[in-house]
Amino acid sequence: MVTNISYIFLITLLLIMGGWTFKALISLAQGKPVEINFKNPLNLKARWPKDAKEK
């Protein structure tokens, strides 16, 4: 049980680090500065529409 949880943690860590590395390489290839956001490492954003304010 503990081994499975540790493997899930390891795979998740590898995927996040690989994504950061891939994103950094793309930014460097395009000549843009590399930005690392520790609060939102996967750059996830809310995609649902916001409620329109009635006037």
Q: For the segment 2-45, what is each residue's pLDDT rounded down to a tens digit?
A: 789 999 999 999 998 898 888 889 989 999 888 777 787 767 78
Residue 55 lies in a domain: no
Residue 49 lies in a domain: no
pLDDT band at 47 (very low <50, low <70, confident <90, very high): confident
The tally of domains found in the chain comes to 1
Residue 23 lies in a domain: yes
Residue 9 lies in a domain: yes
* Boundaries of domain holding 2: 1-42
pLDDT band at 55 (very low <50, low <70, confident <90, very high): low
Residue 52 lies in a domain: no
Concatenate the DSSP letters of all residues of 34-55 into one string: P---SSSTT-----SPPPPPP-
- Other C-beta atoms lying within 10 Å of the C-beta of residue 42: 11
Residue 50 lies in a domain: no
Q: Judge whether residue 54 has pLDDT over 80.
A: no
Q: Judge whether residue 48 has pLDDT over 80.
A: no
